[in-house]
Amino acid sequence: MALKTKLTELLEIEHPIVQGGMQWVGRAEMAAAVSNAGGLGLVTALTQPTPDHLRREIDRCRSMTDKPFGVNLTILPTVTPPPYEEYRRAIIDSGIKVVETAGSRPQEHVAAFKEAGIIVLHKCTSVRHALSAERMGVDVISIDGFECAGHPGEDDVPGLILIPAAGDQLKVPMIASGGFADGRGLAAALALGAEGINMGTRFCATVEAPIHDAVKQLLVDNDERATNLIFRKFHNTGRVARTSVSDKVVEISARAGAVFEDIQPYVSGAKGRVALETGDLDAGLVWAGQSQGLIRDIPTCKELIDRIVIDAETIIRDRLAKFAA
């Protein structure tokens, strides 16, 4: 049995599995490993300090794989926004065929990517935002449930509800995201109406993930309860691994009259990068989802993807089929 879906056909990939676009993690070696294993790897644009660095990272990824890969461009409101238009131009000029967009107000970028003939995947955390993105002309929606790492939105709707709710209304193909880590999840996503899955946290716990072994072991050791929701008070909820740093952020945020400036020293992206690269879990935030509770080992990307697909095929063929017999 081969799991051929609208997603594998559209992206010309072997397996319906997409690597999440992760800050500091989505480097060439990560994306190439996923693509070589038959999924779709993503280089994270804003991990690179400049658009020229992104061009070089795309070239580096091409030197590592001849399979399809894409680039993630996340648009977030910040005090000093990066030059998004220049990053977008670097992506287009580099001949990238697939882009994952995420964040707020992506219209300008989606229009430019579509004009360049690029397939656009857009990540959303609600049905209403997914429908808005579909109207913009995106080709695929990645619908991100409350279980996810990163920013799950403010609606708190888990994937078991959000995925079929989105599928009931969307006309474009859909990727299920948030909480996926194994073949059971892939089989369930397909049953719920998705054409594939997106995994971020699970790919962090692989041999090729360019992060410190201590962080990978944290993901193995943690269970499904070991996350913290931060920034809730500021209506920009984020889900991170439970560490001394994220515990401190939650504690400070709960104080009467707390403002963002009170937690800012603990949550900078630069400090999170230090944690990922040095393994010092007290240095900064480690972004991770509830799928930690399903992570038991640190395989290669190929071992992981092969296992997920085989397990999903077995569930569909042997377990689910017998109920309809």
**Helix axis angle, 51-64 relative to 84-93, nearest 10°?**
30
What confidence tier does 1 reach under pLDDT thresholds 50, 70, 90?
low
Whether 322 is in a domain gets the answer no
Whether 236 is in a domain gets the answer no
The boundaries of the domain holding residue 96 are 6-210
4-48: per-residue pLDDT in tens? 999 999 999 999 999 999 999 999 999 999 999 999 999 999 999
98-134: per-residue pLDDT in tens? 999 999 889 999 999 999 999 999 999 999 999 999 9
Whether 229 is in a domain gets the answer no
- Cα–Cα nearest to 144, from 156, 129, 159: 159
pLDDT score at 304: 98
| Total domains present in the chain | 1
pTM comes to 0.96
Contact present, 7 and 173 (Cβ < 8 Å)? yes
The fraction of the chain above a pLDDT of 90, given in percent, is: 95
- Farthest-apart Cα atoms in the chain, separation: 61
Whether 80 is in a domain gets the answer yes
> How far is the CA of 97 from the CAs of 9, 91, 104, 150, 164, in angstroms?
14, 9, 22, 25, 28
- Mean pLDDT over the full length of the chain: 96
**Helix axis angle, 244-253 relative to 260-267, nearest 10°?**
170
233-262: per-residue pLDDT in tens? 999 999 999 999 999 999 999 999 999 999
Whether 252 is in a domain gets the answer no
Q: What is the dihedral of CA 269, 270, 271, 273, to 10 degrees?
A: 90
Question: How far, in Å, CA of 116 to CA of 302, rounded?
Answer: 31
Q: What is the CATH number of the domain that holds 127?
A: 3.20.20.70
Contact present, 68 and 97 (Cβ < 8 Å)? yes
299-317: per-residue pLDDT in tens? 999 999 999 999 999 999 9
pLDDT score at 104: 86
| Residue in the block written with tokens 């042997």 | 318
What confidence tier does 324 reach under pLDDT thresholds 50, 70, 90?
confident
> How far is the CA of 189 from the CAs of 71, 161, 163, 165, 239, in angstroms?
23, 11, 8, 12, 21
pLDDT score at 105: 86
Whether 138 is in a domain gets the answer yes
Whether 218 is in a domain gets the answer no
Whether 127 is in a domain gets the answer yes
